[in-house]
Chain A
Amino acid sequence: MRANVVIVGGGIIGTSIARELSRYDLSVILVDKEADIAFGGSTKANTGIIHAGYDDKPGTLKARLCIRGNSLWPRLASELDVPFERTGSLVVALGEDEVSTLVELKHRGEKNGVPGLEIIDNPKKLLDLECNLNEKAVAALYAPTAGVTSPYDMAIALAENAAQNGVQIMLETRVTRVVVERNSVKGVETGKGFIETEFAVNAAGLFSDEVSAMAGVDHFAITPRRGEYFVFDKALGNFVRHILFPIPARLGKGIVVTHTVDGNLLIGPNANDIEDRTDLATTRDGLEEVFTGALKLVPKLSSKRDMMISNYAGLRAESNVDDFIIAAYEEPRGFINVAGIKSPGLTSAPAIAEMVASLLSEAGLGLREKGHFNPSHRSIDRSIRELSIDKAEERIAEDPKWGHVICRCEHVTEGEIVEAIKRGATTLDGIKFRTRAGMGRCQGGFCTSHLIRIISKELGVPVTEITKRGGHSEVLPHEVKTLLQKGAK
C-alpha cells in the first residue's frame, strides 16, 4: 500500500485533516485502530461545545486556532449538513467575589479577538434569559459566538466527505511502527500491512505520545483526564437556552449545563487524571460530583433526577505541554504531530486542519487543488423525525423502508439504519451514532433486537458475530440450545 499522506487517528482531528487534504490532488489514507470513526475515548464523549475563545491564553495556538475554528464552524456545518446551533454561552458568577474573574475573561477574550462579549450584571435580566438559573447569580459573561454541535456527527460527516473526495479510510488498523530511514519518514507499519508514505500525520489523541515516540519524537507525555456526564430525557424540555459555565475551575472549564444540539439536557464534565487510557468507566463519586456541580448553576434540577436517561465518561488527551502540539520536524522529516489536542480541540478542528495542510506544504508536500473537490455532504435523511409530511411520503414512496419505524423513542426508520450500514456502520454503536437509534429514553430496549436482525441481513454476518462497538463486544455470542447441548455443568 502507498499514499502521499497517512493520517493516524480517526477522531475529530484526524477526520478534519483528512477532509482538508481531500481538496488537493493527493492520495491520503486515514487509519484508526477502532471499528469505526470516532470510537476512541474523546471525540464521541465530550460536551460538544464550540467555544467562543476567551478561555485560552493570548498568543497560544489554542487561542488563535479556537477563534479561527469558531468562525469556520457555521459554514462547515452547513456544507457537511451537520447540526450546529449558536446558542451563546454564559459564564456565571454566583457571588460578588467571582465578578473580577468575569472581567479578566472578557479582557482575555477581547485580546484574542472574540466578538460580542458582554458582561450582564443585572440579576433580573439573567433570570429572564435563563429561568432555571440559580437566583444567587449576580453577573455573567455572555459570549454570542459559542454554540453546540454533535462531535461524532461532524467526525462522521468529515470522514464521509473525505472518502467521497478520494480519501481511503482503514478501520481496525493499528499503527505499530513509524519507519524512518535516513532521517525521513518512509512509511508506517500497521496490523494490516505496511503503508509506504513520506508524510505521516499523528492525530492519535490519547495515544499520540506513543505514536510520536515511534518516530523518535518523545518530548511530551499524554495523561488521560476523565470527564463524566449525565444526559437527561428530551421530555425535560428547554431547561436551559444557553451553555452555562461556572467560574473556571482548577482543572478545566468546570461542570457545564447545556442542551445538546439534539435537545437533551447534558451536564458535566468533572476532571480527574487516571492511568489507563482505555478506561471509560464512570464512578459513583464522579457522577455525584457532576450532579452537585450542575445544581450550583441550576438548583431546580434537583427534582429531576428521575429524568436522567444515561451517563458516560470521556477522556481528554492532556499533555504536559501547555498548548496544542502541532509541529513538523526536521528529525524525522515528513512527520507532523497534532497531539495533546483537548479543549478547545473540537472548536479548533477546522483551523487545525488548515494549519496542518500548511505545515505539510512547507515540508515539501505539493498541494494542487483538485478540480472536482465536492465540499458538500448530505447526512442521513430524517424525514419522519422532522415530520415534514410531504418529504416523508416522497421518501417512503421511493423506498418503503423509510416508513418502517425501528427505534420508536427517536422515530428512526429502517431506511436510515440501512443507509447507516451502507455508509460504513457495522456495529450497534456505529448505527447509534449515525442515526440516534438507541439514544432515546428506553436506551435500545426495544430496537436492539431489530437492529441486530437488520445488521445480520444487510452485512450477511451471523448474529453471534455482531458487536456493540467492535473488538470482543459481541452482543449475542451464543445461539439458544447450544449451552444445553454442551452437557452438564
Chain B
Amino acid sequence: MKRDVCEVTCIICPVGCRARVVFEKGKVLAVANVECPRGKTYATNELKAPVRDFFTTVMVRGARNRVLPVRTTGPIPKEKMMDCARELSKITVQAPIKLGTVVVENILNLGVDVIASRDLEVG
C-alpha cells in the first residue's frame, strides 16, 4: 500500500493554497490544505488531467496589425499547448474579422474552437 503525496499550487484564486494531494495507484485519496471546494477540484484535476486556457496570435493579412489575438472556447490539456501553438502558426486569416469568429474549428480534435479575441478592420 504505497501512498504518494504531491504538492500543487492552486491557481483558482489569488490565495494560491498549496494543496497536498495523497494518491495511490493513480487514484486520488485525499486533498489537504485547501480552503475551498474549487481548490480540491483543481488540485485533483491538476494531477490527473491538467488543463489550461489557451490563447495566442495568428497571422492576419489586410489589417494594420500583422497578428490577431485568438483564444480557445474552452480549456485544453496542458500537454497540448505547444502542439496547438505550432498548428496555429501555419495559418493566416484575412481582415476584416469580427470578435468571436471561429478561426479554427475543433483544433487538433480537442473539442474546442479557436476564436478571434477582437474585431480587426481592414487597414
Residues of A in contact with B (beta carbons under 8 Å apart) = 480-481, 484-485
Contacts and interface: CB of A to CB of B under 8 A. Distances in A.
12 contacts: A480-B57, A480-B59, A480-B66, A480-B67, A481-B59, A481-B89, A484-B85, A484-B86, A484-B89, A485-B86, A485-B89, A485-B90
Interface string B40-75: 000000000000000001010000001100000000
Contacts of B86: 484-485
Nearest to B87: A484
A480 B39 CA distance: 36
A272 to B, nearest CB: 45
Contacts, number: 12
Interface residues of B, number: 8
A407 B52 CA distance: 39
B61 to A, nearest CB: 13
Contacts of A480: 57, 59, 66-67
A363 B59 CA distance: 64
Nearest to B64: A453
A480 B70 CA distance: 15
Contacts of A481: 59, 89
Given A481-B89, A485-B86, 10 more contacts: A480-B57, A480-B59, A480-B66, A480-B67, A481-B59, A484-B85, A484-B86, A484-B89, A485-B89, A485-B90
Contacts of B89: 481, 484-485
Contacts of B66: 480
A485 B87 CA distance: 9
A-B pairs, top 9 by smallest CB distance, nearest first, are A481-B89, A484-B89, A484-B86, A485-B89, A484-B85, A480-B67, A481-B59, A480-B57, A480-B59
Interface in B54-113: 57, 59, 66-67, 85-86, 89-90
A485 B90 CA distance: 8
Most buried by B among A480, A481, A484, A485: A481
B78 to A, nearest CB: 18
